């Protein structure tokens, strides 16, 4: 998935990175910022590339907060299972299945499906907002 030429959920592709809306059950608005080149760690990048990548992560976080109105944002760069540099931008809600633990922890509660559907209804607006913000900051998207 991280190396796919036709990634599901692609929102925007820059020269060095791309942004996708991940289809994570129970977490509408979950985004990934993926470095296009095969590196495993932030320190594998030149300083200018690290700065650019984190700028994208922060812009995506701002967009997710603006549209999804989460109680909290989690940022994660794990890569334990897939050593291809990527960041997770995860909107969190006090009523989500895992809060306050990580989304990869055991669930603490069941979730009201109506809340999930209401959050999913915001995804077209989030996609539009991301494209507009990324284009304003980085120019037209590139073919991936």
Report residue 49's pLDDT band, with 50, 70 and 90 as the boundaries.
very high
> How distant is the alpha carbon of residue 72 from its chain centre?
14
pLDDT tens readout for residues 18-34: 999 999 989 999 999 99
The topology under which CATH files domain 10-136 is HIT family, subunit A (3.30.428)
| pTM (predicted TM-score) | 0.93
Instruction: Look at residue 124 and tell me whether its pLDDT is greater than 90.
Output: yes
67 and 59 Cβ atoms separated by less than 8 Å: no
pLDDT at 143 over 80: no
Q: What is the pLDDT of residue 83?
A: 78
pLDDT tens string 51-102: 999 999 999 999 999 999 999 999 999 887 777 899 999 999 999 999 999 9
Would the pLDDT of 15 be above 80?
Answer: yes
User: Which of 26-48 are b and which e, b meaning 16 or more Cβ less than 10 Å from the residue's Cβ?
Assistant: bbbbbbbbbbbeeeeeeeebeee
Domain ranges of the chain: 10-136
């Amino acid at each position: 998935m991280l190396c796919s030429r036709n990634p599901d959920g692609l929102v925007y592709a820059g020269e060095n990175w791309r942004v996708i809306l991940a289809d994570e059950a129970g977490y509408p608005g979950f985004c990934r910022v993926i470095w296009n080149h095969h590196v495993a760690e932030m320190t594998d990048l030149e300083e200018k590339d690290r700065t650019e990548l984190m700028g994208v992560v922060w812009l995506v976080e701002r967009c997710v907060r603006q549209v999804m109105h989460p109680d909290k944002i989690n940022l994660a760069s794990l890569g334990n299972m897939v050593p291809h540099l990527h960041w997770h931008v995860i909107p969190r809600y006090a009523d989500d299945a895992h809060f306050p633990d990580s989304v990869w922890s055991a669930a603490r509660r069941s979730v009201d499906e109506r809340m999930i559907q209401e959050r999913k209804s915001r995804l077209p607006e989030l996609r539009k907002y991301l494209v507009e913000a990324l284009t304003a900051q980085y120019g037209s998207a590139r073919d991936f």
